[in-house]
Amino acid sequence: MNKKMLLILGGVAVLLLVVTLFVVLSGDGPEKDVAYGQDPSEPRVDTDSGMPIVSDDPAEVLEDYLKWAKYPPTTRPLHEGMVDLIDPYNPDNLQTPIGVIKTPAQCSRSHDGTMNCTSKAELSDVVCKLVSESSISIGRDDFKVFLNCYRPGPEQKNLPLTNLQPKVYMKQDTKIIPSLPPVGFGDEGTNGDEKAGDALYTFLVRPTANDWGPMYLEVAFEVEGLKHVQRTNWYSTPHKIADFTGNARDSMDGGNLKISLPINVLKPGYFIIRANLQEKDGSQRFVASATYEGELEAGAQVVDLTFFGKVIRDSGVNGPYVVREIRGMRDNSPVNAAMLRRALESGQAIGPQEHKEPLQEYMKSAPNHTTQAFNAKDFSDKEWESEEKNRRVNYLKSLINQ
């Protein structure tokens, strides 16, 4: 195998590993229902050990893959427990309160660099939570971060804080890049704080043109005389890359539900557009999530997002549906999926890429769209078919026959 092909295959392997890790860590549905989980023929990673999980029974893998591959990777069943998709930018899904230390650990470092502790840290019964209003910020509008401390219990009450000292910064690799401090903070009912005196402290951050990428707010303060430092983060895109424009349209297309999204692209590149489908009335059950990936040129255009028909039909949920969480992101990485595909097709190696910019850029979400009153039985019952699926099935069958 020549060096060029090794470079290409290495890039593909990295991409597959990233995708695998993302799906595994996102808690992608009930483990017993293969249709909800990740591709069972792809390597998994054990969340405790970090080691890959490999099945030694190719017949079992093939059986699970055929169940999973009834639907394409671009449309998957959705249920209410999949909060990472249903509420994708809610930082509360990831943040947990942090305990305040009452007595620090007594430690010293020896000559060989080893840390030796004579006593462990003792925690108080107070916990604190510092959380941003969203896991992303877009543009340069004011952005809020909230801080409160309390004793967990049935009569939970926020505690007053003193000596608040905030700082905002970016972090690229190990390099700390300072940003502007909050334009205001406190509990006085001003600078974005909704209610004075409720001990829910609000920090108002105003992103600058340079605040692109992972942003951090770190706050040092005291609660009941105990010193504490807490940090939270979000991802900032201070510039505009594209806008969802006009109203979405829905139609039946080859037995699938097609959602046509008008979009105006300011910065061309490789885009990922996602949305969820939910029952409008009745129990408001979730039905499916769908993804579009591809290169978009600059200018006004329409992106067609397809919800695969069999996913909707198998759910048994009738319309009208609500298309919600319509969101977009531009992949700013030096090597994206389209580049890898072209490299594989042409045999041209992808050389080293110098890249100093952040890897993602986010769009503002589009308003929800309500579809026509489709009947679930109107959608196709045909399973997903593709060359990709055929190659995977043939490969797994070859392992069985070895």
Same domain, 170 and 253: no
Q: Which of 336, 348, 334, 210 is nearest to 270 (CA)?
A: 336
Residue 350: predicted pLDDT: 64
Same domain, 101 and 40: no
Residue 110: predicted pLDDT: 82
What the block records as the tokens of 187 is 């509990």
User: Helix, strand or coil for residue 12?
Assistant: helix
Percent of the chain with pLDDT over 70: 84
C-alpha dist (Å) from residue 252 to 223, 309, 371, 386: 58, 9, 11, 21
pLDDT in tens, 284-298: 999 999 999 999 999
Residue 196: predicted pLDDT: 96
Same domain, 135 and 224: yes
Residue 340: predicted pLDDT: 67
Checking DSSP bridges between strand 136-138 and strand 226-237, what pairing results, if any?
A: parallel
Q: How far is residue 31's CA from residue 94's CA, in Å, rounded to a whole number?
A: 20
Same domain, 36 and 133: no
CA angle in degrees (0–180, nearest 5) for 227-230-236: 155
Same domain, 360 and 276: yes
Are the CB atoms for 306 and 255 separated by under 8 Å? no
Residue 346: predicted pLDDT: 65
Q: Determine whether 112 is exposed, middle or buried from the number of CB atoms within 10 Å of its CB (0-12, 13-18, 19+).
A: exposed
Same domain, 137 and 8: no
Boundary (domain end) residue, out of 22, 37, 70? 70
Region 318-334: what's the mean pLDDT? Answer: 95
Residue 16: band (very low, low, confident or very high) from pLDDT cuts 50, 70, 90: very low
Boundary (domain end) residue, out of 176, 206, 237? 237
Same domain, 28 and 98: no
Same domain, 294 and 210: no
pLDDT in tens, 132-178: 999 999 999 999 999 999 999 998 999 999 999 999 999 877 789 99
Q: Give the structural domain span for 102.
A: 92-237
Give the CATH number, domain containing residue 267: 2.60.40
- Residue 390: inside a domain, yes or no? no
Region 174-183: what's the mean pLDDT? Answer: 92
Bridge partners (DSSP) listed for residue 336: none
ω into 320 cis (within 30 of 0): yes
- Residue 391: inside a domain, yes or no? no
Same domain, 17 and 61: yes
Same domain, 96 and 229: yes
Same domain, 111 and 146: yes
Region 245-256: what's the mean pLDDT? Answer: 96
Residue 55: predicted pLDDT: 66
Same domain, 11 and 26: yes
Residue 29: predicted pLDDT: 35
Residue 282: band (very low, low, confident or very high) from pLDDT cuts 50, 70, 90: very high
> What pTM was computed for the model?
0.83
Region 207-227: what's the mean pLDDT? Answer: 96
Q: How far is residue 10's CA from residue 44's CA, in Å, rounded to a whole number?
A: 18
- Residue 55: inside a domain, yes or no? yes
Residue 30: band (very low, low, confident or very high) from pLDDT cuts 50, 70, 90: very low
Domain count, the chain: 3
- Residue 134: inside a domain, yes or no? yes
